[in-house]
With several copies, the nearest count.
Chain A
Amino acid sequence: MTGGAPGGRATSAPLMGRDAEPTLFELSSPGRVAANFRATGLPEWTAEDLVPAAHLRNEPTPVAEVSERDLVAHMTRLSHRQFSVDLGAYPLGSCTMKYNPKLCDDAVARAGLADVHPAAPPRLTQGWMALFADLEEALCRITGMAAATLQPPAGAAGELTGLLLMRAFHGAAGEDGRRRRVLIPDSAHGTNPASVTLGGYAVTQVPSDDRGCVDLDALVARLDDDVAGIMLTNPNTLGLFEEDIVAIAGAVHEVGGLLYYDGANLNAILGVTRPGDMGFDIVHMNLHKTFAVPHGGGGPGAGPVAVTERLSPFLPGPRPVRTDRGPSGPSSGLQGAYEWVEPERSIGRIHSWHGNALALARAWSYILANGGDGLRKVSDAAVLNANWLRHRLRGAYDIPFDRPCMHEFVASATNLKRDRGVRALDVAKRLLEEGFHAPTTYFPLVVEEALMIEPTETESPQTLAAMADALLRIAGDTAEDARNAPRTSPVGRVDEARAARQLIPTWDARPAEGGSPPIGPQGLSEQRF
């Protein structure tokens, strides 16, 4: 039969075989259609009637031509080629891949939330505005801050928002011209320096001391009145609590700088301590880490920014604010009416609308379900799990800063590399075979062959024990063993160099002759094990 690939053949589903999955474009057959449209009764004007010739394309835009059945099979098979939290443990350091409760999926699956137009007048969106106000209040209580913006759609966006808040603050003090530098520890996440640049500041790196924390003397030596502020995460990316944080805050405030808290590691300290108490002025949170918004394969997330009283006039707008007027619109038990307010010295808008609203709502459902008591339990278990696993790996792996950690810790494969040429990368690939996702590797940069492990609180002790056993087994591997991993996944190690060398960014960019590599050996040739 001429035309496309067989949409009903399942050899790409790991259950059935180890072929690759054809692309939508290979599954296409000219003239095949899934789409259909409701009856409207409107006049059937043609494209020529409706579009000036100068603008009208003469060829239809090529998309794909697949049946609904093949589209469903294609996406379902792709989903079987994808690891996820719902399949198993995902100890990616710094990413907080905890279980995302299903109740949050259902909480936001309401027409009353999903079908609300962002430009509708406030009278029609009171429920959303109340939800935002309630979430903002909770985030402030958790971080010890005075006010927050929910607009930033991710952590990096929150960082940039925070840096622009710094600028606005210093600008208001007539100091914007003078303050040009932002301090960042060498263990910081890449988004921090990148955001500093976009904020129009210069990065000054601060070294870590031999305990893995900010080197206080080095910090002080870099402080001057041209410093706009410092970005820290605490616990830091090594999973260690910055014990000098109060001194650091004092020193930075001393020279008129502000402290920015990167909230990616907030999962460690919920109900234990608050950035506000540590002296931070600006805090971003990754709701897609700490508050169980699922990562969606890379997003969407939400990165609200909370600030102290003195910074609140600069927050982005519009912000939903409760007025003392009675409820308006279809209220149903809301207290008071809400309206959109522009902070008087706002840095302006930073999202097309009001941020990733449904992600924010998910996080709020998670916070409501846990409550103050549950959030503290989260951090207790997250920190307990990390320390227990660190303890189990001692001896088998180098642990550069081997002391009580918070929610995560960084091990290193330097010993394995030295003794038998097994690298962090190999350990990662071997762990996949053992049924666990790999930890974050080669980050933070201050640790060689870094294996950054964050078990999260939702993994059971039994899962931790199995993960520890697997890692100990791997520590005994020969380079040979390790190099061949992973052998259980639908594809083996992927040639990243080739991808960059001969870039194929779309199906249409395939080299004319040869085209793409084959979907895979027909049937079984590769599958006789």
Chain B
Amino acid sequence: MHFVPHTEAEVAEMLAALGLASVEQLFDVVPAALRLAGGLDMADGLAEADVAGRFDAYAAANRPVGADLVCFAGAGAYDHDMPSVVNRLAYRSEFVTAYTPYQPEVAQGVLQALFEYQTLVCRLFGTDVANASLYDGASACVEAVNLAVAATGRPEVWISRGVHPHWRQVMTTMAVGTGHHLTDIALDDGLTSWPESGLPGAILVQSPNYLGCLEDVGAAGELARRLGALLIVAADPVSAGLLISPGSLGADVVVGEGQPFGAPLSLGGPYLGLFACRREHVRRLPGRLVGETVDTGGRRAYVTTLRTREQDIRREKASSNVCTNQTLMAVAFLVHLAWLGTSGLRELALRCARGTRYTREALLVIDGVEPLAGAPTLREFAVRTPLAADILVDRMADEGFLAGVALGEEYGGGLLVAVTEKRTKAEIDAYVVAFEKVVR
């Protein structure tokens, strides 16, 4: 199916106006040697109904989570309930088919939504400013490290091993370009054991961390201040409903994965990177920032601001190269979180914590299942299993459960289990029964 409206008669009329005899002549500027003889080596276009058929086949070849595969996997991608308002509002075509708000007079919709999003992110994390989103949790970590190194002039970065392994891998990839020295800091019984001394420009801790344990963010903050480093905290927006905010515990920059609000699991994307910091760092803030102002009539209005930080103006001296970000996901995040509201956010976090506690206690009764770490957890926890975790996950799939995420070597193996507000007692009990059967 094709989407070009031009009729043959219209094409002829337009060519005539240009004094051309054929469409081919439009491309005379392309050296003959470069012309693709015979066109693209691809099938012709399909009808809409046939495209749908192809996609039915792809979808049928996956096993989505749901009643047939009850989800206990998390590790940075969580299976939360999403209210109908999210898709009905965030995916209105005005939001979906708009470009970056370059003309504020006709883009107040996206601009105000982003302003409200920035406000909510700051409220969650206890910070002064937040940008209009980055790609994902990993890119938010990368940008935070870049900001901290630039602010302190120190290329040394300490990264807790409690930070999501994929995020650490991405930081490692990017460090090749920036030349930062990244040092992994090991965990002790689930919590980061920081060195006493050194000259880091940034200290990066995640809490709850990858193993689900609650880190001592305050202590990390004191350490950072003592060593003259910036504290970067990777935080979870759901847990923010119950935990003391990183900002109030001394974080200079707070980052996170925004997926729990508004983004389906969708094999890992599009999600959105949350990025917030203290006001003193605003001129180093990566990406877009929306601010409130007025129009010529004194009417309240919104606009992207402090644009001199950005690549299109600062070019090689920009604070970041980000241009297209994840705005639509930020709008979905806004709708989902606004629907939850103040009491709903707390209730959500509480319900995740309840299910997690209940599941953890039930699993630990099974012999051979041991806690991987003793530190307190909130919405996710890790256990050692009698059966290798990857095999266990595979077998549990046949029982109708996505049992969790198998931990890598650096954690000595084990299974990471997440329980959201979606899980009922009945589902958890059935999971535990299947688990016992499989490990036996």
Contact = CB atoms under 8 A, between A and B. Distances in A.
A65 B1 CA distance: 16
A204 to B, nearest CB: 10
B106 interface: yes
Of B9, B10, B323, most buried by chain A (CB within 10 Å of CB) is B323
Contacts of A81: 108-109, 112
Contact of A40 (B51, B63, B299, B351): B351
A33 B344 contact: yes
B1 A369 contact: yes
Given A35-B344, A56-B244, A190 B315 contact: yes
Nearest to A196: B316
Contact of B338 (A2, A66, A76): A66
A22 B366 CA distance: 54
Given A107-B52, A194-B315, A195-B321, A2 B13 contact: yes
Contacts of B402: 117, 120, 124
B399 to A, nearest CB: 13
Given A160-B177, A269-B30, A131 B81 contact: no
Contacts of B139: 153, 157, 351-352
A304 interface: no
24 contacts: A23-B115, A25-B119, A33-B344, A40-B421, A43-B358, A61-B245, A63-B340, A85-B98, A90-B99, A123-B63, A243-B31, A295-B100, A296-B95, A333-B57, A350-B173, A351-B138, A369-B45, A370-B45, A373-B45, A458-B5, A496-B303, A503-B291, A505-B129, A506-B115
Q: Which of A63, A303, A387 has the most CB of B within 10 A?
A: A63
Interface in B334-380: 334-335, 337-348, 350-351, 353-355, 357-358, 376, 378
B311 A191 contact: yes
B211 interface: no
Interface in B19-76: 23, 26-31, 33-36, 39-66, 69, 71, 73, 75-76
A498 interface: yes
Given A57-B245, A348-B169, A510-B292, A369 B312 contact: no
A63 B296 contact: no
A183 B345 CA distance: 50
A273 B314 contact: no
Contacts of B45: 368-371, 373-374
A428 B103 contact: yes
A404 B129 contact: no
Given A63-B342, A351-B138, 19 more contacts: A21-B108, A35-B344, A50-B242, A65-B341, A71-B338, A81-B109, A114-B264, A127-B61, A142-B42, A298-B110, A299-B325, A359-B270, A374-B2, A381-B4, A486-B105, A495-B294, A503-B305, A505-B282, A517-B300
A-B pairs with lowest CB-CB distance, top 6:
A353-B268, A112-B59, A35-B344, A82-B109, A296-B328, A118-B268
B257 interface: yes
A500 B57 contact: no
A391 interface: yes
B354 A50 contact: yes
Given A33-B341, A200-B177, A352-B170, A517 B298 contact: yes
Contact of A118 (B42, B135, B267, B335): B267
A78 B135 contact: no
Contact of B99 (A29, A155, A298, A428): A298
Contact of A273 (B30, B271, B343): B30
A24 interface: yes
B156 interface: no
Contact of A374 (B44, B55, B81, B177): B44
B397 interface: yes
B178 interface: yes
B324 interface: yes
Contacts of B376: 51-52, 55
A32 B39 contact: no
B387 interface: no
A121 B62 contact: no
B264 A44 contact: no
Contact of B3 (A130, A141, A351, A458): A458
B385 interface: no
B35 A272 contact: yes
B422 interface: yes
A355 interface: yes
Best-buried of A39, A130, A155 by chain B (most CB within 10 Å): A39
Interface in A88-125: 90, 92, 95, 97-103, 105-108, 110-121, 123-125
Contact of B62 (A49, A127, A189, A243): A127
A397 B4 CA distance: 28
B225 interface: no
A153 B108 contact: no
B100 to A, nearest CB: 4
B136 interface: yes
A509 interface: yes
Interface stretch (A215-223, A324-332, A470-478): A324-332
Contact of B265 (A15, A71, A118, A198): A118
Interface stretch (B120-128, B186-194, B196-204): B120-128
B3 A358 contact: no
A191 B100 CA distance: 15
A490 B327 contact: no
B242 to A, nearest CB: 5
A527 B56 CA distance: 49
Interface stretch (A250-258, A413-421, A518-526): A518-526
Contacts of A173: none
A115 B65 contact: yes
A492 B295 CA distance: 5
Nearest to A113: B59
Interface in B123-150: 123-124, 128-130, 132-133, 135-139, 146
B124 A491 contact: no
Nearest to A137: B42
A493 interface: yes
A391 B179 CA distance: 49
Contacts of B27: 272-273, 383
B276 to A, nearest CB: 10
B268 A32 contact: no
B44 A373 contact: yes
Contact of A111 (B47, B64, B123): B64
Most buried by B among A61, A127, A370: A61
A121 B397 contact: yes
B1 A377 contact: no
A512 interface: no
A69 interface: yes
Interface string A196-223: 1111100100000000000000000000
A372 B40 contact: yes
Contacts of A160: 174, 177, 321
A458 B214 CA distance: 41
A351 B135 contact: yes
A503 B118 CA distance: 13
